[in-house]
Structure 1
Amino acid sequence: MRSIRAAAVGAVTMSLALAASACGGGSATGGGSNDSPKELTYWASNQGANVEVDKKVLQPELDKFEKQTGIKVKLEVVPWSDLLNRILTATTSGQGPDVLNIGNTWSASLQATGALMPWDDKNLDKIGGSDRFVESALGSTGVRGQDPAAVPLYSMAYALYYNKKMFAEAGVTEPPATWDELVETGRKIAGNGKWGLGAEGSNLSNNIHQVFVLGKQHGADFFTADGKPDFTSDGAVAAVKQYVDLMAKDKVIAPGNAEYAQNQSLGDFAKGKTAMVLWQTASATFRTMGMKDDEWGVAPAPVPSGAPGAGKQTNSMVAGINMAVFKNSDNIDGATEFVKFMTSEAEQKILNKAYGSIPPVKAAQSDPAFNGPATGVLRETLATSAAPLPQVPDESQFETAVGTAVKELFADAAAGRPVTTESVKAKLAKAQQQMPTK
């Protein structure tokens, strides 16, 4: 593998730096296409509780692929805090892996670089065709009307996870279905070192996921129909303020959560410090953190009416991981074969069971493992009440700019500084000014 220097990316990459989970957080050394048709380099995203968990999940499957094809796959699991910068470095330098995982929200942005192999009908036919995949997952693979930049690998959705013991101790018998109920429940629990809801104020991508959903509930999309940023609409401002107010006004989120990054809120949840978290497909992570399945419950994320659906009742973004191939790979055929293997029905069952995610391959969803109480909620959410983030070329800049604005507002809330409609609008106006001009 040839190393990639982060400095090679330049200012544009720094402006896109993302400290978060896309959809759902390794070394800093880099990778490169190779000259051997019997070897591939693969950058996998950190899906488990830590990088070592991913290696244990993935390596047996890569060994299986090598045994079947004779092609060795050199694995590197890249933390979410590094992944986008690493990818952008590779698109700029031309030196990257053969195959890589990307957050599905980045598909359009990375598609615009021209560095990824388009999945036209010919390429899709090599892996069994587009009909194998769930439609909602395909909707987050690039700009509509263009050949996909990637194919779906893991599908996820947000849900409300709650600690059954903490609920019982507070006399709460049902998980909250509306935001008012969530605040009421959180206030019943908060006190004596315990908090109602966990958040990750320094996790830019998670910030975006939460405020995007709240934006839909307030009738805002953050982009106009022609793809221009619209961060200061009344709905967008109301959405961001509602989210930050869970700490600033409602006092159900601990001030220390303003500094939390990836998975720190899940750690507090597993230790019984917070009673609820809004997260995507968290069950496997809870198990890794020592929780038993009967210690937590899962319910749809709150919506204004209490009944999730489309439009203002949207309660999740279409979360997930896509798999892409670098166009300049020296082993396009081997890379395509590897994608076919990873999206096969058998591998989809193995991998999505391990991560607690939902297979975007239709045939794999028939497995009973994806029809339990937790996964059933996620499947229903993806089918009926989730919406994809804007598939626009500037989406990754949006995640950075608005995610940072939310981070700064959480910092204000934690410090006791007022969070007002005016201060929220000012932060979002600043974020919009940072977006590329056409």
Structure 2
Amino acid sequence: MNRLKIIAVGAAAALALAACGNDAKSDGSSDGALNGAGKTLNVLVQANTIYPQQQKQWFTDTSNAFKAQTGAEVKFETFASANDELTKIQTSVVSGQGPDVYSLGTTFTPTAYATGAFLELTDADWQKAGGKDSFVQATLGISGPDDKHQVGIPFTSRPFVMAYNTELLKAAGIDKPADNWDGLREQAKKLTTGGTYGMAIAYADGFDPWKFIWAMSVQAGNPLVAGKKASLDDPATVKAYQTYLGWLATDKVVDPAAVGWKNAQAIAEFGAGKAAFLPMVSATSKVTLDKSQVAGKYAYAIMPTIPPGATSLPGGGVGATSILSGDNLVVAKYSKNKDLALALVKLLTSPDQQKAYYKTFGELPTNAAAAKELQADPALAAIVDSASKAHGTPFNGGWSKVQLALVNVVVQSIPDLKAGKVDDGHLRSLVSAAQKDAQSAVDEAK
């Protein structure tokens, strides 16, 4: 019995026990209105390292609003990394207790779905959550394996783009960012001078590195996972790692200090005018950059869609600008307060809440009405364009572990980066180990 099946079987037993004595109408009062007085919903979300104080305030404001609406409290807890996220899912599923609502990165939704431990949404459930038609339909693309089997309710949309310093590019005689990764590297070399570097890259971030490798791989025609086969050791993916790591080690277009940077530090470096390009950022960066030294001196562009070593998209390549990115809300089957949980989802995805969330954190709305209002903002044009050209990661129960394997190659390469090199033999051995871990995860998945 594979690991995901063990998790699912354990979850089924725990959920059966949790269901005993659980009245499906326990959230309702005699007049049919929700009555959550004396109840607490537990919600798990990713810690926001860019806006930590604003997130704490959002926790308080959300709990107050929901209490005023239903009488129920909302208690938030956070996870710090993708590994923490996966661990929390696994332990909660096996024990049959934990958060009522999880905010999961879209790429983790397949893992949640594979456990069988999260609410598969019926038409009635969707109505309680605000109605499926109220969402931007593209954001539903990774809610489940198909539109009849969905667990994820879109909360935020986070297509990735590249910010660039318009003044630095103009001074260097560069009209616009290159549409291929090799061209971007050459532009970055030209823009690296004195204390200014061509790129700001967060090599130590737990979420960013794998997205570069994924993008370059699918652009070259390697999807990384197809059916029951992982292909992390494909030459195109090895080339992607060499390119990504080489920006710092061999091309010298990234500040050596970036080996220890998280996403917030890379944004800060670009905001200080010390880097010309800031790849792999979302609209969340706009809140910071509009208050930085580069306010009014930067713009967004879609990232290169032509892989390293090529000048045009090769046969079989996918011109993906971004993963289909954002956060989905999922409700645990073991929750004794499912109707309250769906009511909270409805609140969080309402137009006013989504617009307020965007203004605070820069996360694009998934609510269709709120998203439509932002389309007229010219500063978001490239981000909207990227959203339309984004490509979903494989909907495979093992993908979360594949993702971690991709990141681990970069983590294990940090000592070489600190020494200012990319050891090709060492890199290939790391990729080989990642391939074994990825194939094992895919084999184990349902």
The normalised TM-score by structure 2 is 0.81
Question: Kindly tell me: are residues 157 and 415 of structure 1, through their superposed partners in 2, closer, same or farther at Cα, counting changes over 3 Å?
Answer: same
Quote the Cα distance in structure 2 between the aligned partners of 1:221 and 1:110: 21
**Is 1:363 the counterpart of 2:379 in the alignment?**
no
**2:344 alignment partner AA:** F
The partner residue of 2:383 within 378, 390, 411 is 378
Question: Kindly tell me: are residues 142 and 263 of structure 1, through their superposed partners in 2, closer, same or farther at Cα, counting changes over 3 Å?
Answer: farther
Quote the Cα distance in structure 1 between the aligned partners of 2:329 and 2:137: 16
Counterpart of 1:22?
Answer: none
**2:387 alignment partner AA:** L
Residue 432 of structure 1: CA displacement?
1.6
**Secondary structure class of the residue paired with 1:183:** helix
Residue 157 of structure 1: CA displacement?
0.9
Quote the Cα distance in structure 2 between the aligned partners of 1:139 and 1:292: 35
**Secondary structure class of the residue paired with 2:394:** coil
Structure 2 unpaired stretches of 5+: 8-35
Counterpart of 2:354?
Answer: 348
Query: Contact 2:158–2:326 at 8 Å: present in 1 too?
Result: yes
Query: Contact 1:214–1:240 at 8 Å: present in 2 too?
Result: no
Task: Encode CA deviations 1:107-140: one digit per residue, 9 max, x unaligned.
Answer: 0112222332222333113224323323331112
Query: Contact 1:159–1:301 at 8 Å: present in 2 too?
Result: yes
**Secondary structure class of the residue paired with 1:313:** coil
Quote the Cα distance in structure 2 between the aligned partners of 1:290 and 1:425: 40
**Secondary structure class of the residue paired with 1:139:** helix
Residue 146 of structure 1: CA displacement?
6.0
**1:158 alignment partner AA:** F
**Secondary structure class of the residue paired with 2:199:** strand
Counterpart of 1:23?
Answer: none
Counterpart of 1:178?
Answer: 180
Question: Kindly tell me: are residues 135 and 370 of structure 1, through their superposed partners in 2, closer, same or farther at Cα, counting changes over 3 Å?
Answer: same
Residue 77 of structure 1: CA displacement?
4.2
Query: Contact 2:156–2:363 at 8 Å: present in 1 too?
Result: yes
Counterpart of 2:241?
Answer: 240
Q: Which moved more, 1:58-67 or 1:229-238?
A: 58-67
Counterpart of 2:24?
Answer: none
Counterpart of 1:428?
Answer: 431
Question: Kindly tell me: are residues 287 and 48 of structure 1, through their superposed partners in 2, closer, same or farther at Cα, counting changes over 3 Å?
Answer: farther
Residue 325 of structure 1: CA displacement?
1.3
Counterpart of 1:103?
Answer: 105
**Secondary structure class of the residue paired with 1:272:** coil
**1:344 alignment partner AA:** S
Quote the Cα distance in structure 1 between the aligned partners of 2:148 and 2:423: 41
**Secondary structure class of the residue paired with 1:329:** coil
Counterpart of 2:407?
Answer: 403
Counterpart of 1:28?
Answer: none
Question: Kindly tell me: are residues 37 and 215 of structure 1, through their superposed partners in 2, closer, same or farther at Cα, counting changes over 3 Å?
Answer: farther
Task: Encode CA deviations 1:201-246: one digit per residue, 9 max, x unaligned.
Answer: 222421111111111111110012x132111123222222222222
Structure 1 unpaired stretches of 5+: 1-8, 14-34
The partner residue of 2:319 within 313, 338, 353 is 313
**Secondary structure class of the residue paired with 1:317:** coil
Question: Kindly tell me: are residues 400 and 337 of structure 1, through their superposed partners in 2, closer, same or farther at Cα, counting changes over 3 Å?
Answer: same
Q: Which moved more, 1:397-406 or 1:278-287?
A: 278-287
Residue 273 of structure 1: CA displacement?
2.4
Question: Kindly tell me: are residues 80 and 293 of structure 1, through their superposed partners in 2, closer, same or farther at Cα, counting changes over 3 Å?
Answer: farther
Counterpart of 1:256?
Answer: 257
**Secondary structure class of the residue paired with 1:153:** strand
Counterpart of 1:57?
Answer: 58
Counterpart of 1:25?
Answer: none
**1:404 alignment partner AA:** N
The normalised TM-score by structure 1 is 0.83
Query: Contact 2:245–2:422 at 8 Å: present in 1 too?
Result: no
Task: Encode CA deviations 1:38-75: one digit per residue, 9 max, x unaligned.
Answer: 32122232346132221223432432222122222123
Counterpart of 1:38?
Answer: 39
**Secondary structure class of the residue paired with 2:161:** strand
**Secondary structure class of the residue paired with 2:92:** helix
Quote the Cα distance in structure 1 between the aligned partners of 2:283 and 2:86: 21
Residue 292 of structure 1: CA displacement?
5.9
Structure number, greater radius of gyration: 2
Quote the Cα distance in structure 1 between the aligned partners of 2:49 and 2:203: 21
Counterpart of 2:22?
Answer: none
Quote the Cα distance in structure 1 between the aligned partners of 2:144 and 2:262: 27
Q: How many residues align?
A: 401
Q: Which moved more, 1:336-345 or 1:227-236?
A: 227-236
**Secondary structure class of the residue paired with 1:297:** strand
Query: Contact 2:283–2:362 at 8 Å: present in 1 too?
Result: yes
**Secondary structure class of the residue paired with 1:162:** strand
Alignment of 1:134-173 (within 5 A): 134-144=136-146, 147-173=149-175
Quote the Cα distance in structure 1 between the aligned partners of 2:325 and 2:277: 20
Task: Encode CA deviations 1:168-196: one digit per residue, 9 max, x unaligned.
Answer: 44444433333233222211221323211
Alignment of 1:274-289 (within 5 A): 274-278=275-279, 279-287=281-289
Quote the Cα distance in structure 2 between the aligned partners of 1:179 and 1:223: 22
**Secondary structure class of the residue paired with 2:401:** helix
Residue 360 of structure 1: CA displacement?
1.8
Query: Contact 2:250–2:422 at 8 Å: present in 1 too?
Result: no
Residue 391 of structure 1: CA displacement?
1.3
Question: Kindly tell me: are residues 306 and 235 of structure 1, through their superposed partners in 2, closer, same or farther at Cα, counting changes over 3 Å?
Answer: closer
Counterpart of 1:394?
Answer: 398
Quote the Cα distance in structure 1 between the aligned partners of 2:172 and 2:336: 59
Task: Encode CA deviations 1:231-280: one digit per residue, 9 max, x unaligned.
Answer: 11232222222222222332212333223234221122122222211112
Quote the Cα distance in structure 2 between the aligned partners of 1:170 and 1:58: 45
Counterpart of 2:208?
Answer: 206
Query: Contact 2:49–2:264 at 8 Å: present in 1 too?
Result: no
Counterpart of 2:94?
Answer: 92
Counterpart of 2:269?
Answer: 268
